[in-house]
Structure 1
């Protein structure tokens, strides 16, 4: 069975001196995400270990992040990335924003369930303990789906918001602007970068 062969090859690639990255790349990139999930399950059955945990401990840097993103279902990778952004010294605020702001309320609900299952704590509680002030309030609102879901862009509003952010930058103003729909937030960011660089 091909999954058994791949599981054995992956195990060998991670055991011994040095990780054989070419073997890992070859196996992971020739399978679809659903096939990789079957491989992950088979690896667990054969070795009583989670393939994700083994890859996480054996790989490093950007290579590890790419391999983990390919091995995990998207919702699981988002939960993993949010946890990573809040671990250790300092919080990676840009990572939190890029993940949380890009998700619909339904996607955010799936991520919250996955996060709770993986890390045994509510995502909202983790955010509250790792952030503060207006930024914390904004993230908690976004995680709880408190943003407009309209797909229409008001270009005039985007221009006004970008101008306000440029002339009077403050957390309160940013907080109000970023409660809008994702498409409106993107429009504001585009106008801001084109106009104010």
Structure 2
């Protein structure tokens, strides 16, 4: 992989382990010569992952909608900052510039970005690996919910497994590097449940 998009919070939250893992992910991407594509802010977990890469001579590409420039405060030390018109263009650019996607902890925006990317994969619009870095168990409840969706016949087991999960940066990157896309139809027929 040459580049990975990272979706994460524009605030740091209150878990120091999550903050440290965000920085570590940026550092490891730089050490593996994988460019970071992210939301362009110098604040929050976004700023941590960018700083981790920059502090270790990594390439960092930020993509930010014009209306968020004043709220998220652009990181001016990154390799490249791309301004787009809206959130949809931001996601499209991040998708187009990356070979894989990672979600760190975050809020509604992070979840929306993650689920749009996994939905596109489920529909066969791309075959890029998508991973959750489950820093300090942040996503445990969400993963239980996804498993419940499978149990209730609303999500195919194969599609659930398209979402890679690990609680370490290296473990997740190893899974992503060896990812084999699952080519199954999205829709669940009654006789399959």
Max Rg structure:
1
Which structure is higher in RCO with an 8 Å CA cutoff and minimum separation 6?
A: 2
Greater helix share, structure number: 1
Q: TM-score, normalising length from structure 1?
A: 0.29
